[in-house]
Amino acid sequence: MSTEMWTSFGSLLASLMFILAMINQHFSGNLLGYFLQRLIHKFLSYLNPYIEITFHEYSRDSFDRSSAYVSIERYLAVKSSATATRLKANSVRDSERLVLSMDDYEEIVDEYQGIKVWWTSGMTADKGRSISFYPRENEKRHFVLSFRKKHREVIVESYLKHVMDEGKAIAVRNRTRKLFTNNKEEGYAGSVWTHVAFVHPATFETLALEPGLKEEIVNDLLTFSQAKDFYGNVGRAWKRGYLLHGPPGTGKSTMVAAMANLLEYDVYDLELTSVENNTELRKLLINTTGKSIIVIEDIDCSLDLTGQRNEEKKEAESSNARDRFKKAEGKDKKTSKVTLSGLLNFIDGLWSACGSERIFVFTTNYIEKLDPALIRTGRMDKHILMSYCSFEVFKVLANKYLNIRFHELFVRIQELLGEVAVTPAQVVEYLIPKSPEDDGERCLYGLVCALENAKVALREHLAAQEAPQEHGGGLNFCLGPV
């Protein structure tokens, strides 16, 4: 149809609508009026080539904002910041950023699979309520979606789902992530988890790992986060377990932060010693949300989990002072009645499937102390050894901390790293400038001296013992502070 034909069709429609409205007004309030009204609606919808769907902010019997309305609002906010001329700026709960959205009575045109749709925002004043507790509570907002009748199937079946999914994804991107803890003050009666904003600068970019390992972990994490359908199809709960083990200061906790930053997940730092019993443990699990990492640090020290299976193991066997300290620290706080089976059920039992998209991470310095059932595949799917600093790891650190890719001292450092076992945390300590005069070369020189000293100390130590011990590639000696 030409433009002129559309215009005359439009004016004919408008005149008809006017006449019908007059008839409607004249007969309103009686039975004839009711039938006339229905007739008018039928007639108008027959002529109207468009369909309109209204999404109200509040449903009749709920005080909560409709989740569909909220998702549409977020979706349109992104569209409107680019196209609409009148915008509203709001600060949103759980986000530090200002969010722009379309103002009332604005219109936005969206396109989906080549189909044009029109969104308008509107508002009606609710005259029913005379007293309101909140400002503007009586204003009821809505969005109206209009599209051609012939596109009904695509819009209803596919476009609306696309809008809802996008809206949810935007909410996840915009929120401030949280770090939860179950370690509460004595007498605290609030929710089982308390939280602060999760802000940690660690990323996989800054984490120094063996070549190939970083890519492997990143790929594994990204594949997991996109595998909702896969887990559903194979009938598994959408969760994955990581066991990070290795000596202190090798980057296990830093890796957890990098994981959370990569996937934009919240972190639940579960302090097992503060959990009274298995029931409380289950309650904590139920109160976690999706898109989260549930981490139990130093799992070997948190509870005497191995002891429950192997009674005769003495505490005196704890191999070093740091370990004993961690264990004692936990015991002082509270006597926990969490059992190994309670923990196994927490990770892999029926209740563990009540949420989705969750990663469980255990960290430990002593993998050999853990009960095999706790770390079997399916519970802890991926075991990652975070080991002493190799030359490859050192090169990443030197590049990050000093912006040095190669230096003549590197050759000596490579030799020394093959002879003394030092952790990345210890190496990093020498790569941080301590005074304005500390340039890259001075830092590297300081590291070489410290490694040389450690080598001498190690020789003397071994000579005294006359029993050399091999550990991995280097000798098992930890470099002390300078």
Ligand X SMILES: Nc1ncnc2c1ncn2[C@@H]1O[C@H](COP(=O)(O)OP(=O)(O)OP(=O)(O)O)[C@@H](O)[C@H]1O
CB of 398 to ligand X, least distance (A): 11
Output the CA–CA distances (angstroms, integers) from residue 202 to 95, 207, 257, 286, 435, in the order listed. 20, 7, 6, 28, 24
Q: Which does 387 bind (CB under 5 to 8 A by kind): Mg ion, ligand X, none?
A: none
Q: Which range, of 31-39, 45-53, 108-116, 247-255, touches ligand X by CB under 6 A?
A: 247-255
Told to check if 253 binds ligand X by CB under 6 A, we report: yes
Told to check if 296 binds ligand X by CB under 6 A, we report: no
Q: In this complex, which beta carbon is closest to Mg ion, that of residue 296 or of residue 458?
A: 296
Interface positions, 102-131, toward Mg ion (CB under 5 A)? none
Told to check if 288 binds Mg ion by CB under 5 A, we report: no
Half-sphere exposure of 45 (CA within 13 A, CB side): 9
* Contact (CB, 8 A) for 336 and 276: yes
Told to check if 417 binds ligand X by CB under 6 A, we report: no
Told to check if 352 binds ligand X by CB under 6 A, we report: no
Distance of alpha carbon 124 from alpha carbon 85, whole angstroms: 22
Interface positions, 37-76, toward Mg ion (CB under 5 A)? none
Told to check if 254 binds ligand X by CB under 6 A, we report: yes
Q: Cα torsion at 131, 137, 139, 145 (round to 10°)?
A: -140
Told to check if 330 binds ligand X by CB under 6 A, we report: no
**Residue 23: both structure tokens together:** 């008839």
Burial of 391 (0-12, 13-18, 19+ CB in 10 A): middle
Distance of alpha carbon 163 from alpha carbon 119, whole angstroms: 12
Place of tokens 């000696």: 477
**Contact with ligand X (CB under 6 A) among 424, 450, 454, 475:** 424
Q: In this complex, which beta carbon is closest to ligand X, that of residue 53 or of residue 478?
A: 478
Q: Which range, of 67-75, 156-164, 246-254, 420-428, touches Mg ion by CB under 5 A?
A: 246-254
**Contact with Mg ion (CB under 5 A) among 101, 250, 253, 352:** 253
* Contact (CB, 8 A) for 79 and 108: yes
Q: In this complex, which beta carbon is closest to ligand X, that of residue 106 or of residue 429?
A: 429
**Residue 283: both structure tokens together:** 């309650």
Q: Which range, of 71-79, 100-108, 245-253, 378-386, touches Mg ion by CB under 5 A?
A: 245-253
Sign of CA dihedral 182, 188, 191, 194: negative
CB of 305 to ligand X, least distance (A): 18
Q: Which residues of 344-370 are buried (b: 16+ CB within 10 A; e: fewer)?
A: bbbbbbebbeebebbbbbbbbbbbebb
**Contact with ligand X (CB under 6 A) among 87, 115, 425, 448:** 425
Three-state SS at 303: coil
**Contact with ligand X (CB under 6 A) among 167, 241, 249, 474:** 249
Q: Which does 208 bind (CB under 5 to 8 A by kind): ligand X, Mg ion, none?
A: ligand X
Distance of alpha carbon 435 from alpha carbon 445, whole angstroms: 15
Told to check if 101 binds ligand X by CB under 6 A, we report: no
Q: Which range, of 22-30, 133-141, 249-257, 317-325, touches Mg ion by CB under 5 A?
A: 249-257
**Contact with ligand X (CB under 6 A) among 77, 117, 208, 259:** 208
CB of 256 to ligand X, least distance (A): 8
Q: Which residue is nearest to Mg ion (CB)?
A: 253
**Residue 291: both structure tokens together:** 């898109």
Half-sphere exposure of 366 (CA within 13 A, CB side): 16
Q: For residue 91, which phi and psi values (nearest 5 degrees)?
A: -95, 140
Q: Which does 451 bind (CB under 5 to 8 A by kind): ligand X, Mg ion, none?
A: none
CB of 253 to Mg ion, least distance (A): 3
Told to check if 252 binds ligand X by CB under 6 A, we report: yes
Burial of 296 (0-12, 13-18, 19+ CB in 10 A): buried
Distance of alpha carbon 111 from alpha carbon 264, whole angstroms: 29
Told to check if 302 binds Mg ion by CB under 5 A, we report: no
CB of 395 to ligand X, least distance (A): 12
> Using CB under 5 A as the criterion, which residues of the chain lie in contact with Mg ion when the complex forms?
252-253
Q: Which residues bind ligand X (CB under 6 A)?
A: 207-209, 248-254, 365, 386, 424-425, 428
